[in-house]
Structure 1
Amino acid sequence: MNYHPRPAGEGLRTRVFQIIFESDTLPAKAFDIALIAAILASVLVIMLESVAPFREDHATLFYWIEWGFTVGFTIELAVRLYCLERPWMYLKSFYGIIDLMAILPTWLALLLPGAQSLVVVRLLRTLRIFRVLRMMEFVGEGRLLLGALQRSGHQIFLFLFTVFLLVTIFASIIYLIEPAEAGFTSIPTSIYWAIVTLTTVGYGDIVPVTPLGQAISVMVMLIGYSIIAVPTGVFSAEVIRSIRADRYSDEACPGCGHDRHEKRARYCLRCGTWLDEDTPDPNLEEQARDDEEGPQGKEK
């Protein structure tokens, strides 16, 4: 949901809003950087608490540090809502939901022990760094990649379906050839082996022992190497097509018909014709004025 926060009123709320929601001033940047540092520190505490030796030696310390972060983030969210014109709309927005989820696990742990492990969702709050460091243009690049992935979805699905058929066929064959003592006790287990072999991961926990089974393994591995490039090529082609569509215009030149111009281009790359047919060529207008003035106008 797209939501553009606005301050609730003049005075203190506006000043607080400028510090919390904007990043143009030094106090605002300092607040955002301090907030991101606190988020990373809180996630680090949760990670260290999951390690048994640290948890046994510093359980009480971790407990109070986590509650300190939770209370701090709760106050920060309350201040955000205080300075907004429509606080409930903010809670329904993407960042509002993330901010709420960042504090709920610890409070829920009072009723549901173990819920505090979900605090790692706070890491999503570091997405604010895109705004702090003026990196919002990368969001546009991410949308370009996502759009290319969506447009190539049918081809990738067809490819994955074909791979699934190959995996099932090879798994059924290897199940008939190999003895159960080698680990091929069922077709689903054989499918696991076929996927591991086709992707060239090769865990080695299940391996064929017969010469025919080993020959099939070699075939599956070679097929795996050959098909890995298929989805990569499809996706790369869509990315290139998206970049061209984003950068180049499909409109043909009225003079020579050339149709590959950058969207910012004003004149044809080949013949130099003015491309925007809705507006006159400013150079022609200037030349016409010079012709009307004549030699005497130029001398003046």
Structure 2
Amino acid sequence: MVTPSAARNSDSERFGKPASGLRLKLYTIIFEADTRAGKAFDVGLIIVILASVAAVVLDSVASIHARFAFELKVFELLVTAAFTIEYLVRLACVRRPDRYAFSVFGIIDLLALLPTYLAVLVPGLHALIDVRVLRLLRVFRVFKLTEYVAEYGALGQALKASRRKILVFMSFVLMVVVVMGTLMYVVEGPAHGYTSIPVGVYWAITTMTTVGFGDIAPQTGVGRMIASVMMLLGWGTLAVPTGIVSAEFTVQRQGLRGTTTRTCHECLSEGHSANARFCSDCGARLPAYQHDAADARA
């Protein structure tokens, strides 16, 4: 019989527990921002990301591309090499690299690399390198602005907690647009541009979301009355999910004071308070809180 302790030891051997040594130092620098080294790493990373995105934008300008195409290409290759090394180091210094690889930030980090390599096969994909701007989501961790870290975590938890309510609401909206789109197809017909039920559903969606492109518009009195109802429903469409998320957001904020960028070594969740002993998400024991004295006084 395998005891829980033996199972934990087995996981530690399999994934490599960064309890000490170089891996733990790299982990603290890369994944946390409560030390000078961690803060400097994140600031440097954001500067490189901005420079990379700016290079791609400039390269799309014909006059700049004609003069500096080679320099911009070399710079992009250097940045991609640096990001590749950083991504591999991130995988190497966590206990469970598969969990990080399939996390939100892990997927974003991978997407930041793929366009450059794929552009070798499909040159048009080079512009997709701008996806690297998503990595700037890490800016909330940089200057130990704990209120931003808390709000970021609260927003994520609020969306997670309200996902079922939003799903039910979206199901209702889907039923409404299908019914109203079908009704408009019957009332207006192909003569007025409603050539099929999918076209009617498309009109219902654009009208209910208050976008209203104007490419299809009702011509009959009954059709205009239906359109008016759809426009009024559009206000409710915006208000309901906003209220659901706002309510959950308020609840989450109440318990997120004094959080830090402290990260759990087991599940990689962050935002734990400085005096927490166990992870609030997976229950694992948290490592000792590493921070600078200046940050502790902040």
The answer to whether the superposition gives a TM-score over 0.5 is yes
- Which residue of structure 2 lines up, in the alignment, with residue 36 of structure 1? 46
* C-alpha contact (below 8 Å) 1:172/1:190 kept by paired residues: yes
1:210 aligns with 2:224: no
Query: 2: distance between equivalents of 1:23 and 1:228?
Result: 36
Q: Which has the larger radius of gyration?
A: 1
Aligned partner letter, 2:238: I
CA deviations over 1:154-213 (Å, ceiling 9, x no partner): 332222222222212221221112142321111110111111111221111100111221
Partner of residue 228 from structure 1, selected from 222, 228, 238: 238
Q: Secondary structure at the match of 1:228?
A: helix
With over 3 angstroms needed to count, the CA separation of the structure-2 counterparts of 1:8 and 1:127, relative to structure 1, is: farther
Matched, 1:176 2:186: yes
Higher RCO structure, 1 or 2 (CA under 8 Å, sep 6+): 2
- The corresponding residue for 1:135 is 145
SS of the residue 2:169 aligns to: helix
Aligned to 1:262: none
TM-score after normalising by structure 1: 0.62
Residue number among 153, 162, 181 corresponding to 1:152 in the alignment: 162
Residue 119 (1) aligns with residue 129 (2): yes
Q: Root-mean-square deviation (CA), in Å?
A: 3.9
Deviation at 1:14, TM superposition (A): 9.6
1:237 & 1:20 partners in 2: Cα distance? 34
* In 2: Cα distance, 1:147 partner to 1:32 partner: 24
Per-residue deviation, 1:42? 0.4
Comparing 113-122 with 167-176, which one deviates more in the overlay?
A: 113-122
- Normalising to structure 2: TM-score of the pair? 0.62
Query: Which range moves more in the overlay, 142-151 or 106-115?
Result: 106-115
Tell me, in whole angstroms, the C-alpha distance in 2 between the residues paired with 1:166 and 1:132.
45
Unaligned runs of 5+ in 2: 1-14, 258-298
Q: CA, structure 1 residues 179+33, in 2 after alignment: closer, same or farther (shift >3 Å)?
A: same
Deviates most, 120-129 or 229-238:
120-129
Match of 2:204 among 194, 203, 224: 194
Per-residue deviation, 1:98: 5.4
Q: List per-residue Cα deviations over 1:45-74 (Å, max 9, x = no partner).
A: 123334556545643343222123234445
**Any residues of structure 2 matched to 1:3-82 within 5 Å, and which?**
8-9=21-22, 29-51=39-61, 54-55=64-65, 58-74=68-84
Aligned partners of 1:91 and 1:97 also within 8 Å: no
**What residue number does 1:256 align with?**
none
Asked whether the 8 Å contact 2:151–2:253 carries over to 1, the reply is no
Tell me how far 1:216 sits from its aligned partner: 1.7
Letter in 2 for 1:239: F
Deviations 1:242-288 (A, max 9, x none): 445778xxxxxxxxxxxxxxxxxxxxxxxxxxxxxxxxxxxxxxxxx
1:38 positional shift = 1.5
Cα 1:64–1:175, aligned 2, differ >3 Å: closer, same or farther?
A: same
Amino acid at match of 1:221: M
Kindly indicate whether the alpha-carbon contact (under 8 Å) linking 1:7 and 1:17 is maintained by their aligned counterparts in 2.
no
State the identity %: 42
How many residue pairs get matched? Answer: 239
Q: For residue 237 of structure 1, what is the aligned residue in structure 2?
A: 247
| Distance change in 2, residues 1:195/1:4 (3 Å) | farther
User: Conserved in 1, the CA contact under 8 Å of 2:193 and 2:216?
Assistant: yes
Question: 1:207-286 maps to which residues of 2 (within 5 A)?
Answer: 207-243=217-253
Q: Distance in 2 between matches of 1:227 and 1:20?
A: 41
